[in-house]
Amino acid sequence: MTQDQWQAVDAYISDLLVPEDDALAQALTASDAAGLPRINVAPNQGKLLHLLARVQGARTALEIGTLGGYSTIWLARALPADGRLISLEYDPAHAEVARANIARAGLDKVVEVRTGAALDTLPRIAAEPGAGPFDLVFIDADKRNNARYVEWALRLTRPGSVIIVDNVVRGGAVVDGSSEDPSTVGTREMFELVAREARLEATAVQTVGVKGYDGMLVARVIA
């Protein structure tokens, strides 16, 4: 199996099941034009997030890591008209691109993008009356803090909520207990936290495709 074959299969799936629309296409184009890194979820992964939110019946969602708002659009489209999605983005320039993309998609009444370090923003959200609990949390930010983000997700959810963490396989590096790479170390800390956390039931899957070799963790809050 080669990267070319993975990309061909992703293209086949997306062409049939994830038809491109203007808002999503323009979000990617605008992100490229602004020089944002091409680390957004793939189209079929965005559709998976959308379906998970729909299956969950989510009305409120929290996203940690906005980038250009591509995954944000997928998630927001799964919420009802009176739903709410708060997305956290460290980089103000990225946040501005995301806000424009979200507004172009007609979702600016549903989505609020907040800037700043998520570990600074999350305590403020927790202190806001009516800010939670969230029905779904999607974590796709700096990987070194993955465990901390899951801890905050637990504080901001309820039994029945879903927590999703992206990029958890790290090209296979996650199995390397001797790794000193901060993203790998942070991801392993997250796995170990989830494994011992009695309030969560979880699994993770490996993925291949246009984003290479990686994976996603899905957890359900049970207590």
Please state the three-class secondary structure of the chain as a single string.
CCHHHHHHHHHHHHHHHCCCCHHHHHHHHHHHHCCCCCCCCCHHHHHHHHHHHHHHCCCEEEEECCCCCHHHHHHHHCCCCCCEEEEEECCHHHHHHHHHHHHHCCCCCCEEEEECCHHHHHHHHHHCCCCCCCCEEEECCCHHHHHHHHHHHHHCCCCCCEEEEECCCHHHHHHCCCCCCHHHHHHHHHHHHHHHCCCEEEEEEEEEECCEEEEEEEEEECC
pLDDT band at residue 131 under the 50/70/90 scheme: confident
What is the domain range of residue 131?
A: 3-221
Domain total in the chain: 1
Calculate the CA dihedral of residues 33, 37, 40, 43 and round it to 10 degrees: 50
The answer for residues whose C-beta is within 8 angstroms of residue 29's C-beta and 6 or more apart is: none
Q: What is the pLDDT, as a whole number, of residue 94?
A: 98
What is the rounded CA–CA span in Å between residue 155 and residue 149? 10
pLDDT band at residue 1 under the 50/70/90 scheme: confident
For 22-78, the pLDDT digits (tens) are 999 999 999 999 999 999 999 999 999 999 999 999 999 999 999 999 999 999 999
Q: What is the CATH number of the domain that holds 217?
A: 3.40.50.150
What's the whole-number mean pLDDT along residues 128-152?
96
pLDDT band at residue 91 under the 50/70/90 scheme: very high
Residues 200 and 220: beta-carbon distance below 8 Å: yes
pTM for the whole structure: 0.97
